Structures are given as structure tokens and as C-alpha cells.
Structure 1
């Protein structure tokens, strides 16, 4: 460490002839204040290394392959420039002192302070130099004096170049500072040498003696496609769709780059790409505590619980439950008090289940209330989910919980909506999965809040239109009244099967049960309402389908969240590990036994003699019977 400012400039009043004729600075160079700067190309561009034979190419030491100017010409010029500069600087200072003595103006002596630590600027001569080297990763230029940010980037660029041109290389020497390789094609003289630039974070191609003119092999299978190359190519595809599997990526790589990559290589490359996009699978469990702290700080009132399992001295992840406060309040204020459950299997390294407690809004759109992640579809896990849901939403009057979502929705729309929510996130690490669910909820809430602001009237227009469409489809239905508010409604189904139901307009009930379940008139109730001339259709629809309740369901705002690097760092006092493996010890059995195949400890019993270890066809009695039948047949023929 030295104090003061540093500069590579040499102050000269007159450049010596040795510097004027070396090709760096000409005689007519216009240099402001006589400041001569050393040319940057002398530092960055290494001189060519003359190789007279192929043996010298592979046996050349690293000192010769690197920049020889640093040890010979560069040092000579530096010493000569330094010596000339020191002499001229002393002469210039003497002339300035003589001119000051001849001046008639009084000279003001400067004031020096003994403590100059406040004015000193520390300068680190060994500070890292950062270069912004940009190159085309899809079509890299492999030529002499081409620079790359690192040796790893250079190797990836060479692999991409080889796959594009259809050739393979054989590495002779490769490490962190140097790289030597040649073309695998028989008789091809193409060679390449690259090394790290001294004192700079860059790699430069120093030598390609021959142009690469060999014919492309055209092979689909190539050794140039490595795991890192696959990760670099598929990272963009996985950002758009993280649910792409190794088989899908394998087919896409062959389609785009016309190269066949092994399944194991694609799978390992996909894992590296997922780690780049998100993070390692093991660290995602520990990040759940940071996610919980950030979510509770920006969205107070939310319910997030992380459950662990202790195995020996290790703490493993067990279950996760979270519910956003806007979803809880919106369910209480705007949705019907009906909850159904949906779940799906996760596709990532954690083979657990993602479950959701969901309701329906006025448009019968899926309304997620709470989410949970657990290991298996067991009664204990579902009981735990119910208990956590009760803690989150409290005791609601008239709450209906159903395991069959078709009961509250009347169709399969809830399952289809749940699949759309979870289609492309099931393979993510858990912390990214729950964050994506929060982000999706935030976007959906905003979109539906905008829809609600543009609605008018009492009942949702979509609900009124749906009921009018059912009225127009009524055919051959008979209404027989037995009172002012009750009647029998009968008719025939499409297969000509007769049916009859009892409708009570005052209680808003029908014997089919649909009106009580959905809180809007069923087909039988609409048949009677349609016979009334002054009937108000909206009065028979519960306020769960009103515009006001729809707006209340999405009135809460799910706040945005910062990136993971800005989340609070929470230390729970232990390292949260992945769930313990449930895979049994030993080799996995792929063969399935036949329907009549016995276990290893079972013995087959003969039906003829009753003895073990043989069957009926191999029994001696069976052979005797067969022999007697053959003899009898021969006697009959004779």
C-alpha cells in the first residue's frame, strides 16, 4: 500500500530518440503538457510466439507462451523511459527554480502541517481490475487476440463454436491459466492456444497457426456438449417454463442446435441451470425463514408456519402452511362460506404434495384461501391442514368444508383452475414456489379488482346472463302449484326418464339440492319463476353474487416483495435440512411379478398327489394317466 495518486504517465519535455523510433510515439505526436502515456496495446496484446514445429507447440513452456515482452522488450523500454524521465525531470525542476529566483514578486511560502493523514488518499497497487468484456455467446468469434472474461467462459465459447462448425477438439493442457487443444479430425492441422492475461481478469487467444478448413463431421453425437454448455443453453428456457424436464430439454436441444446430448448430461445441466435461476435445492429450505420474516413485515396479519422434524442431531423440513391476510379477509367478506381442497404432486427433488384450501367468488372463479406443503397424502397431514386453516380463518358461522370440489362448484372448473395455477411451478425449490404463489396471487387480485371497479348493478352481470341462458333452454317442463310459494316441477330428461322436484320460493330451496348449494336458482326454480310475469330474478339470488361482495373479496392489496438478497437474515439456531429420504435400502426392483407368480418363500403344491415342490404337469401320477390314455387310444385305432 502506498499513499498518493498513481499514474503511468511520464512527464517529458523532450522525448529521446530511442522512444521516438520504437513505433509507440512518433516525432509529431500531440501530447498535452508533454505527458507521454504508455500505449495500452503493449500491455494487453501479447506478442506472437514463433513455433517452428508441432513438438514445440505442445512442449512450449508457459513462460514462452505468455507475454515475452514483459521480461525483455517491455522491461528494457520501461527502464530506458524511467531513466530518461528522471534526468529530464531534474533538469526541468532546476530551470523552474532559476525562474522563480529572478522574479520580482514576493514569494509566499506554503504552510505545511505535521499531520497530513486527513489529506492522504490510500491507493492499493494490487486492487482488482474489472474489465467489461462482451461477446456473442451464441456465435462467438474464435480468432487470435479475442478476449474472454474467464477461462470457463472461453471453454464454453469454444464448445459452442465447435458445435456450430461440426468439429471436436482434444485438450492437451487445460487449467486455470492456460489452454491448448487441437482438432480431432485426422490430418487437420488446426491448433489453438489461450492463456490468462497477466494482472488482468481476462483470457486471450494467443495462437491459431492454421485456418480451420477441415470438413465438418456432421455427427449428432458429440463430446463438445458438456453439462456447463447445456446449462448455458437451457437457462433461458427454464426461466420461461421451469417445469420443463430433462427429456423435453433433450429434444429441444437437438431441434435447435442439431446435436444429440445424453440424458444424464442434460439432467445434470438442468440442475445447474436451476441453481443459477433460483438457488441450490438444499439451501431453499433455510431460506423459508427469511421469506416468512419478509412476508410478515410487508403483509402483517398473514399466517405462515414452518414445521420441522428432528432426526438425531439434524433438523429436517416437515410441513409448511401459509395464508395471506388479503385472502383471509376477502374470503370472509366476499365469498360463499364453502371451502374445498385441491392438491397436486410436486415434480422437483422434493416429492411432496402441494395442497390448497380454495373457495369460489361471485364469478365462480377459484379463490385460494391457504396453501400447504407436506410429504404425503395421509389422514394425519390433512388433519394438520384443517387445524392450521381453523387458526388462520377462525370460526365462521355456516362454514361448509368438502373434500369433493364438485359439490361446491357443480362442475370440474375448480380442478382446472388449480392446475393452471400450479402448472409451471411444481418443479421449483420450495422458497421459490411459495414466492411464485404469492406473486401470482398479487397479479390476479389486481386484475380482478380492476374488473370489479368497472361493474355496475346489484347482481353480477355474468350471473344474470347465465340464469337467462338457462331460462331460454327450458323445454317441456310443467309447474303444478300447491300454494303461493310452493309447487311441483316435473318433466322428462333427455333419455325420456321422468323426474319431479318440489320448489319453495320463500325458503329458496329445491328438492334437487342445487339451489341450497350454489345459492342461486336451479333449473326447476327458474321454470316456476319464468311463469311469473312480475317476478324479479335478482331477488332470488343471494348477495354472494352481488357486485358489492365481489369488490369486497378483492379489496385487499397483496403488497410487492423485494428480491431475495434484501430479505431479513433470520437465524433459527440450526440448519434446516431437506426431508429425510424415504427410499428403501438396496437395489430398486423394476420387474413386476405375474398374476400367478409366487413369492420367494412360498412353495407350490401338486393338486394330484398333494406333495410340494412340483406342479400337476410334472407329477408322476399325471405322467401315468397320460401314458394310459395314449395306450387306450392306440388300442382303439388298432
Structure 2
């Protein structure tokens, strides 16, 4: 029996009743209307994320390409057209100069095929410039990152550090490529903004263009090099000796420790130290830093922090990016100004707390000079010697860069709020600045940087304990597991390894004077790899001595026999090269060596006592005959003379 239902007379409220009779496809205009709210919250959302959100909220699957065009239309309506955003920089400049006089907004352009196009941009707010000069230490980290929008240019930045060791952005710049010309232009505008403060130190990576820019514009500044980039370029030289001594040499406070670690690396691999002498001549060790700027950083982590701070803004148009960056600075300045108003005293509490924590780990030796003055030497760690006045508090011995007054001066100036860009004043320039010419790039657009070889070794997530299966601790510190399980794990894996402290010294550090001129480049210890060269010279000298002995004996025998005119005599035979020395083929082989086809083969013979060469020997011609005085930096080397 078959039943067919042709009509349902009962009322129902399923979703199909709310649909219209004619269903239309989702167009880019419909998608633009639906995704505007998502893009207002986060302008970096891609077409794939918007496609998922449309599927989640509207239960409709739209093709990726149509979502992309709808996203593009929405961004154009929200943030303006691509062709006009570079020309809007002139309006942004006029608004900033009206609201914040003294700020530097410099736009550079050039003409290509009778069209004026964007070239470079520099932006520095007046409160940032004054705060750096009045409240921050004279230290700058200069680096660049790539933009991820339609314009794949470089965003350069100069960042400082305040008394609280917080990031302090000073200025930014935009150009197409990292060339010598662009970096010299950026550094010249930076000098125009801040001048040349006393004791200025600039830290960069090992990029050739940025190093040329610093050397050209700031020749008197102390030029430091990022240790992380040095290690990344040092990847062809690997081994435990470099893991133990390369970073330790960078963190060494005095010359003694630096030379100690340097000697260990040079003994293990002379080619590695020669590479450092040749390719990394800028300052990268604390033992050679000046103390005026009061910053001992050996990496460019400040620049990486700034890049991470603005990474979500790198895809939007340039005029909106600069306005968003100004807004971030305005909020950050306001927060830290409020913090400065709540502080009381002379030195920042964070610095006092850090000094108290470090003082608990010190082993001190006190040598009194009088009732009020004593000489205090610290053992362990870096080692240092200070003069301490017993009647004065520790705050008076801290530099004023860490004072509350300096911290307030860094954020005292206000960064005023600006109206929406639709209300910016009209610029007086009488031309339209077109966007820069874009270069075709193979593959999909890159939104993340290329990771180095050391980044791949970093594990994502937390460590999982194999006993309790929880995260955040190791098995030997597990509190939830039983003792039997921990003992069983210890029997399988062995006891946990303890980290070794590689930097231990009881020497006093000798720091540079504050009025001393900056070091132009790294000063490396003299080369100590004499063993490899002396062994080669020794072999050559042995062969030459045997050759001279054989030639002398042949001359004596020829004189006795009276056959000086014989052409077969080795003493009268002329060399093919034109010299008066005997040919190598006529030299008698020394004992213990047999002739063979191609290479010479050594024959095992009885050991004979080695002859020690005198200082006047020809084999010692490459070494200095002056006896070097004993140095405390050479105490790690063996005191036994080289056996020649």
C-alpha cells in the first residue's frame, strides 16, 4: 500500500518559509555590506577568515574569489582608495603640523614618466623627540621590517629605552628597498630630529646598507652590532665550544673574561675567529661598550618588540597606518604619564627592587679606607669594584637616567588627539602624488618574515609531564606523581642535568672612561694560532735542512774527485726555474721516507730525539723574537712552550 502526501494543511515555521520565491546569489556588494563590521574590528582579516564567518553567521558558502572582491570593496569604503592614500599624506602632514608644532613629517617624491610618485616618508612627533632628549638614555636601536599591504616597502624605525627599561619609539620611516641611499636619507632625517647627543650609541643588525647609513651620518656615535644576527650568520661554525664561549664572550664585562673565552674559541677553530675579525668589526661585547648611555644590551630586541607591536597594522594603507601609529603612541604616553604621577621618591621603584634582588646574590669583600669610605669587591658573576659611602643611601649612587624626574620628563609632553581623516585640512601642494610603481613578485604575498635556522628549534606550546600528563613542569619536579613513578623515570632517563654557569670570575672590571672617544671597531686579541703555522714551517724547514746537507756533501765529494765540470753534479746543475738552488728531484730523501708513485709514504722507524731549534733558526723567522710579558688575560693558556 502506497501513501502520497500532496499537501500539508498545517501551519509550520521552518526556515524555508522566510525565504523569498526568488533566491539571488551573494554578490560582492552584499558581501561588502556583511563583512564591514568584521573589518572595522580587525582590518587584517583575510578572505579565508571572512568566508568562514559568513558561513557561520549566514549559513551560506560563498566562493573564495567573490569573498576577496567583497573584502577589497569594503576596505576601499572604510579606509579609502589605493590611488589616493599616498596623496592624503600631505593632508596628514598639515594636520600634524597644526596640532603638534615642531613635529617632522617629510615626504619625498620623484617623477617617472611625467607622473609624480611616492618615494620616501619620515615621521617623528615633537613629544617623542623632546622626551628622548630630556628623559631617555642616549641609545637607539635602528632596524626595519616589511609592509604586508599592497605596497611591499620597508618600515624603518628608531627605538630608545626609558628609565623603566620600557620601549620608547622615536621615529619611523618608509621606503621601497634597503639601499645605501635610502638608509643615509633616513639617518640624516633622524639626525635633523635629535641632533647628536653626547654618548650616543646606535645598535643595528649586520645589514650592509644600514651600517653604511650609520657610519655616514653618525661617525662619532658608538656603533654596536646585534649579537643574535651575528650568531645567525655564524651557523657554519658549530660545536660545544661556541655554545659555551661565544655568547659568554658577548656578555663579558671586562677584557680578561672576553680574552679568556676568545682564546678557547681560537684554540678550537682558528678559522671561526678569523671570520669574526674580518666580517664583524662593530662592537658586540660588553667589555668594549662605553658607560655613558647606561645600556648594556647586546641584541636588537627593542626593534623586534616594536615590530610585534605594530604587526597588525602593516597591511592597511599608509595614511591610515600613520594615523593608527600616532593613536597608539598617544594612548601609551597617557598611560605612562599616569604611572609617573603616582611615583614618589628619587629613583624608580623597579630599579631599587632590581638592585636589592641582585645584591642578595653577591659575595662581597670590604676593605675600609676610612670611617666613611670603603672599597667593596664583589666575587662571582661579572666581578666589579665600587667605592661606597656608608652615610649615604644607595639611591644617590644610581644614575639620574633611572630617576622618577627623568621618567616624567620623557612623557610630560601631550600627544593631542586628531579628527577623522575626512576632516583633515586640505594641503597646499599643487600636484597629485601617485602611488609608487609596484614590482611583480612570484608566489603568494608574504605576511610573515622568513625564519632563521635557530627559529626552527623553538618548540611550540608547553612541556608535558610524562607522569601526570599536565603542562608547565618537568617529571623530576612533578608534585602529583608518586615517588615510585619518579624513581622509575629516573632509572630510565637518568638524573636531571644541571645547568653550568660559564661566567665566573673574581677579577675587577675596568670600565671605559665616560669622556673617552668611541671605539671605531672591535679590538680583538692577537692571534694565538701559532701551532698550525709552526708545524707547517717545521716540515718545510726539515726538508730544507736535509736538502742543504745533501747538496753540501755532494759538493765536497765533487771537489775531492775533481769533477767540477761534470753536468751530472748536483752542485753545478742549474734549476729549471732559473735559481741557483738545486732541483727538488736531485735532493736525497731523508731517512724514513720511501719513494712511491704520486705521494710519499712514511716508513715506521725507531724514534729519535727531536732536535730543538734555536731562536735564530730559519724556521723561527715568522715569529717575533721578543719575549712577551706575562698577562693575566693569558692565564687560561698552557705555560708550556711549544715544542718545535
TM-score (norm 1): 0.49
Q: Which has the higher contact order (CA 8 A, sep 6+)?
A: 2
Higher Cα radius of gyration: 1
Structure showing the higher strand proportion among its residues: 1
